[in-house]
């Protein structure tokens, strides 16, 4: 027989873990004393992920703390009489070790400084292409496409965007606009241009499914070709379109005369995007499925060469009919420059680092945290401010047990803080983990 705690015991446990506005000194004290000092310098390299989660407008009187929750609040930076609609959450993730830990919620250099003070070396920040995030990086922190990093007390922190999010954005633009881009054909030292079309992929799908005995791209379905609003949010569908099987199948159909030769440009775009996503999603030191770009990045792998090729591609390409270049186009160049810089910094700083697992430079752990919070709120994807804090506290205390959200892979990272006896026995501060509910 397993003895389970009563609801009152669980509530008493949650009440000991305070999560007020500001930096959570409980978490940072444990990180500083119990965890970081036990790591080697090369293992003590982390990324700082941040993203927004939607919450419902709601005011709630907290009797124990004698405060009204639900207003926009920035901790030491002040509060606002406006009601909160979003919570900006921060999490650190290991680059060398599969570790993760939520630490705060608002974008400020204060978060980076607390990480450095705790002995956590933040090598990079990762966020999506939301307009607020990009404006913060450009105007407030001073990062740019060609110089994708910020300096804080003579420490360099590289800034990149979440690459699965960029892949999804590129697919969504390709759905609406044809792509004029460089080709492999040159004449008199002039680069030739071709036009990639989504209609070519649809034609390939129709011809590929006429053969009942063999299909080049069995994963390709109608939901890939004509996704609805919800399906457009799924990275998996985008990755299955920009895949080796689709590109190889299109090349075969073109050689057999079943597809127009104009579709070569589309097949080239798909093949190059497949290699690029493999480069930024590498997670193994060994050759996987015969794809060298899926292996961890080193000085001898083809990643850096392909990065150079794709930067030229994104600089020269245009979405025909689109009035201006979409943010994701510049975001790809920014992120490629950032990943190259991260690799140079780590390999020169630590001689023991011979490779880089680029999948660690994504914010899947943060997306999985959101899924865990939603589950703790009764599968509520739009909780109130009070429900959000309760859900996050529960998530921390259950070691961020993974709840599959359907839009990102299981990150397989371990939570850094597992000694809750030490965590809950530490004195609390009036400014613990900040809940900045803000847009």
Q: Are residues 315 and 373 in the same domain?
A: no
Of 291, 323, 355, at which residue does a domain stop? 323
Q: How far apart, in Å, are the Cα atoms of 180 and each of 210, 311, 327, 340, 381?
A: 30, 15, 17, 26, 39
Structural domain count, the chain? 2
Q: What is the token pair recorded at 106? A: 């608002």
What confidence score (pLDDT) does residue 227 get?
94
Would 122 be classed as within a structural domain? Answer: yes
% helix, strand, coil for the chain, step of 5:
45, 20, 35
pLDDT at 69: 76
pLDDT of residue 190: 66
Give domain status of residue 436, yes or no: no
Name the residue with tokens 């959450």: 89
CB contact at 8 A, 398 and 46: no
Does residue 211 sit in the same domain as residue 295?
yes
| Together in a domain, 285 and 174 | yes
Looking at the fold, whether 65 and 197 belong to one and the same domain comes out as no
The 10s digit of each residue's pLDDT in 331-343 is: 999 999 999 999 9
Asked if residue 392 lies in contact with residue 373, where contact means CB atoms within 8 angstroms, the answer is yes
415 neighbors 93 (Cβ within 8 angstroms): no
Instruction: Give the closest residue to 113 by CA, choosing from 139, 147, 76.
Output: 76
Q: What pLDDT is recorded for position 186?
A: 59
Model pLDDT, residue 343: 96
Q: Of 323, 350, 375, which marks where a domain is finished?
A: 323
Q: In terms of domains, do 307 and 178 share one?
A: yes
Q: What is the pLDDT at residue 21?
A: 62
How confident is the model over 209-246, as pLDDT tens digits?
A: 988 788 999 999 999 999 999 999 999 999 999 999 99
* pLDDT for the residue numbered 320: 94
What residues make up the domain containing 67?
Answer: 16-128+363-425
Say what the pLDDT of residue 315 is: 94
Q: Is the domain of 177 the same as that of 248?
A: yes
* Positions of the chain with pLDDT lower than 70, given as ranges: 1-2, 16-22, 34-37, 74-78, 105-110, 131-132, 139-140, 185-190, 288-289, 401-410, 419-439
Q: What is the pLDDT of residue 47?
A: 92
Show the DSSP H helices in 129-241 as ranges.
131-135, 163-176, 198-208, 222-225, 235-241
pLDDT of 183 reads 81
Question: Residue 346: inside a domain, yes or no?
Answer: no
CA–CA dist 286, 260 (Å, integer): 37
């Amino acid at each position: 027989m397993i003895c389970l705690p009563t609801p009152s015991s669980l509530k008493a446990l949650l009440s000991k873990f305070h999560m007020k506005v500001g930096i959570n000194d409980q978490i940072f004290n444990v990180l500083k004393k119990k965890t970081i000092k036990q790591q080697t310098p090369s293992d003590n390299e982390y990324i700082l992920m941040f993203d927004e989660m939607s919450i419902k407008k709601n005011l709630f009187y907290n009797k124990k703390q004698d405060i009204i929750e639900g207003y926009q609040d920035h901790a030491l930076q002040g509060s606002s009489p406006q009601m909160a609609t979003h919570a900006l959450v921060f999490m650190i993730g290991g680059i060398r070790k599969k570790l993760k830990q939520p630490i705060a919620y608002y974008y400020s250099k204060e978060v980076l400084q607390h990480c450095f003070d705790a002995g956590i070396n933040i090598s990079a920040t990762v966020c999506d292409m939301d307009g607020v995030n990009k404006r913060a990086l450009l105007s407030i922190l001073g990062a740019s496409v060609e110089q994708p990093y910020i300096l804080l007390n003579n420490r360099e922190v590289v800034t990149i965007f979440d690459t699965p999010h960029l892949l999804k954005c590129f697919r969504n633009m390709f759905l609406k606009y044809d792509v004029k881009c460089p080709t492999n054909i040159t004449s008199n030292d002039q680069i030739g241009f071709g036009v990639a079309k989504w209609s070519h992929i649809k034609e390939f799908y129709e011809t590929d499914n006429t053969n009942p005995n063999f299909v080049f791209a069995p994963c390709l379905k109608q939901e890939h070709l004509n996704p609805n609003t919800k399906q457009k949010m799924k990275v998996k569908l985008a990755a299955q379109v920009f895949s080796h099987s689709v590109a190889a199948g299109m090349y075969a159909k073109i050689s057999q005369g079943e597809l127009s030769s104009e579709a070569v440009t589309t097949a080239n775009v798909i093949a190059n995007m497949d290699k690029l996503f493999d480069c930024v999603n590498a997670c193994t030191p060994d050759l996987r499925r015969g794809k060298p770009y899926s292996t961890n990045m080193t000085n001898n792998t083809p990643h850096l060469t392909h990065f150079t090729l794709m930067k030229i591609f994104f600089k020269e390409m245009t979405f025909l009919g689109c009035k201006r270049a979409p943010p994701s186009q510049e975001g790809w160049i920014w992120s490629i420059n950032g990943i190259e810089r991260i690799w140079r910094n780590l390999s020169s700083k630590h001689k023991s680092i011979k490779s880089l697992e680029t999948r660690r430079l994504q914010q899947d752990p943060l997306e999985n945290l959101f899924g865990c919070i939603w589950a703790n709120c009764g599968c509520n994807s739009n909780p109130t401010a009070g429900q959000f804090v309760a859900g996050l506290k529960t998530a921390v205390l259950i070691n961020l047990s993974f709840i599959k959200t359907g839009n990102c892979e299981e990150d397989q990272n371990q939570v850094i803080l597992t000694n809750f006896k030490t965590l809950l026995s530490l004195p609390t501060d009036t400014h613990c983990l900040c809940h900045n509910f803000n847009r």
